[in-house]
Chain A
Amino acid sequence: MIRTVKPKNNRAKRALEKKEPKLVENVKKALFVPGQTSNKALHDVMVDLSALKKPDIKRFERKNNIRPFEDASQLEFFSEKNDTSLLVLATNSKKRKNNLTFVRTFGSKIYDMVELMIADNYKLFEDFKKQTINVGLKPMFAFQGAPFDNHPVYKQIKSYFLDFFRGEVTTLQDVAGLQHVISLTIAGDFQDGETLPNVLFRVYKLKTYRSDQGGSKLPRVELEEIGPRLDFKIGRIHTPTPDMVKEAHKRAKQLETKTVKNVERDLMGDKIGRIHMGKQDLGNLQTRKMKGLKSRFDQLASSEEGDDTYGEDFVTADDIQDRADDEPASKKPKY
C-alpha cells in the first residue's frame, strides 16, 4: 500500500483522480519487469512484446529480485505505483528456462499469473523481413484449438492475451486499421493426463487482394509473418479466487442500457412511438348533442308525454333542467 497524502496542487490532484476506479475503464497498461536472472534473449522478447502493446506500456530497465509465486507483494506495489494492471516478469533458471510470468492485477492485488517459457526456436521482429505496422492499432485475434474453450489453463491464457493486446474498446473501427493479427495456436490436441501442449504465438500482417469470387466487397486475405514468433511452454499457474473473479466481473448498473418499449426510429430517422389505448366503450358514446335531436322529440307512433327518457342510456344536466321545465305547473313547488 502506498502512503497517499492529500494533494497540494491541482496537477497532483488530477494525477490521483486518473488512478481512481472508473466506471468505463481506460486501456490496461502493461509493465515489463526484468527479474534478477533475466538475460539478453528475454530482454529482446520483452522489447518486441512491448512494441505490440505500445503505447500503453512501461518498461523497467533494472533487474528486480522477485519470485512471484513465493511473494508477489513487490509486483503488487509496482502495479499500484505505476497504475499498470498487466505485468510481465522475465526470469531464467535451469528448471525454468527463459521464463516470462504474465501477471494480471485487480485493484492492485494479484488476480492471476501464468508462467510461459519460451522455446529456443523463438524469432524476433528483426529476424523477419522488415515489415512494420503502425503503433497503437487494435489487433485481430485468432485462437486455434478447442482447449481454448474448455480447458481452464488455456481459457486463462486466452483471456490473458485478449486482455493484454486488445487495446481500446471501441464501437467504431477504421477499416484501414485492420492491419495485423495475433494468432495463438495450441500445438495439437491432447488427452487428460498428458503434458499440456505448447501455445504458439505468431503475429502476421494482413495483405488483402481483390478476388473475383468475393465480389466488390470481400477481399482475399493473405498473411505475412512479422514476428515475434514465440512457442510458449506452460509452467506454473495461479488462478484467481472465486470471490475475486465475481468482484472483477461485476458490471456497472448505470451502463446497462434499458430497452425502451414501443419507441422506434424509421428509415428517415424520425422517432415513432406506439401507444396502446385499450378498447373504447361505444356504449358510453355521447351522441344527441343538439336539443332537436333529443329522444323526446323522436317521432315514434307510440310516443307519449312523460316517455321522453325512453331509449336514453344516460342523463345529462341539460336533460334534468329540460325535464323540470316541462313538468306541469301543478307539480312545481309553489312560492
Chain B
Amino acid sequence: MSTVDYKDRPVTVEKPIPVTYDLGNLAVFDSNVLDKNDFDSSNGEREKHIKDHTRDNVQLLINQILSLPMKTTTEATGGSSGQSSTMTLIQLPEPLTELPREKPLPKAKAPTKWEQFAAKKGIQPKAKTGKMIYDEASGEWVPKWGYKGANKKLDDQWLVEVDDDVKGTDKELIDPRTLNRQARKQLIKKNERQQKKNLRNSS
C-alpha cells in the first residue's frame, strides 16, 4: 500500500457533540447519536460503520495524545554492542475515570505501647545521631554497639572496678565483665518480649 493514498486525507474530524477524553487511560468517549440500522446484524455494511466510527474517534484521540508534552530519552539497548535508541515518551496526565481499587487501603501500623505512652506524655522522638560514637580515649570513631562496640568496653580490660551496687551482695565475687555481658543480653531479651507483645496487641 503506498502512502500517497493518504496524503490528501484529512486529519481532523467534525462531530456534532464534541467527544470527551481520558488521556491518562488513553480513552475517548463519543456520545453522539448512533443509528440503529447501521449496526444491525443484517446490515452488510455493519463492520464498515463500526470501523469508520472508531477510526474517527481514534484519529481525534491520537491528535490529542500527540499534542501532549513529549520527552525524548536515549537508552542503551544492548550492553556490549554500544547501540542506543531514542524513545519518544508522551507525558500523560492522571486518569480521570474513577475505577475501584483492587484491595482496601492499607491500614496504618498500630502504635506500640511506648508510642502510646509518649503521645500521652507529649514526649518527642529522639533525634537520630547515627551509629558511630567518638571514643575519647583512643581518639577513634567506634560503633555504639555490635562488633568492637562502645558498650563492650569492659570486656577486654585487665582490671575492672567492682560496682558499688554489687558490693556486699552475693554477686560481689562474680567477674564484673560477665555481669556486664549478662545485663546486655537481658536488655535484648526484654526488647524482644516487648516487640512480641506489641505485635500481638496490634493484630
Q: How far is the CB of B50 from chain A (nearest CB, A)?
A: 5
List chain A residues, Cβ under 8 A from B30.
142-145
- Least CB separation from B104: chain A residue: A107
8 A Cβ contacts from A139-188 to B:
139-146, 148-149, 159, 162-163, 166, 169-176, 178, 181, 183, 185-188
CA of A137 to CA of B174 in the docked complex: distance in angstroms? 72
With a CB–CB cut-off of 8 A, which chain A residues contact B88? 174-176
A145 to B17, CA, bound (A): 11
Q: Tell me which of B6, B63, B89, B91 contacts A209 (CB under 8 A).
A: B6
**B164 CB–A CB distance under 8 Å:** no
B53 within 8 A of partner (CB): yes
Name the residue on A nearest B2 (C-beta). A209
A149 CA / B67 CA spacing, docked (Å): 25
Are A217 and B102 within 8 A (Cβ)?
no
A-B contact count (CB 8 A): 221
Instruction: Report the bound CA distance from A190 to B40 in whole Å.
Output: 13
Contacts of B12 in A (CB 8 A): 213
Beta-carbon contacts under 8 Å, B85-127 to A: 87-95, 97-107
B81 within 8 A of A: no
Of the candidates B9, B53, B92, B102, the one whose C-beta lies within 8 Å of that of A144 is: B53
Q: Which residues of A contact B92 (CB under 8 A)?
A: 170-173
Q: Is B26's CB under 8 angstroms from A138's CB?
A: yes
Kindly identify which residue among A107, A210, A240 contacts B6, using a CB–CB cutoff of 8 Å. A210
Is the C-beta of B54 less than 8 angstroms from some C-beta in chain A?
yes
Residue with the greatest number of chain A CB neighbours at <10 A, chosen from B32, B39, B91: B39
Whether, in the assembled complex, A212 has its beta carbon less than 8 Å from a beta carbon of chain B, the answer is yes
Neighbouring A residues of B128 by C-beta, 8 Å: none
CB distance from A195 to the nearest CB of B (A): 12
Bound Cα distance from A187 to B39, whole angstroms: 5
> Judging by beta carbons under 8 Å apart, are B50 and A25 in contact?
no
Instruction: Determine if A53 is an interface residue (Cβ-Cβ < 8 Å).
Output: no
Contact check, B33 vs A189: say whether CB atoms are below 8 A apart.
yes
Interface residues of A, Cβ cutoff 8 Å to B? 20-23, 25-26, 28, 85, 104, 106-108, 111, 119, 121, 138-146, 148-149, 159, 162-163, 166, 169-176, 178, 181, 183, 185-190, 197, 200, 202, 204, 206, 208-214, 217-223, 225, 229, 231, 240, 245, 247-250, 252
In addition to A210-B6, A221-B62, A248-B101, 15 A-B residue pairs with Cβ atoms within 8 Å of each other are A20-B103, A28-B102, A108-B103, A142-B61, A148-B29, A162-B25, A169-B95, A172-B89, A175-B66, A175-B70, A176-B87, A202-B50, A221-B55, A229-B47, A250-B101
**Closest 7 CB pairs between A and B?**
A188-B36, A248-B100, A209-B6, A214-B11, A141-B27, A187-B39, A21-B103
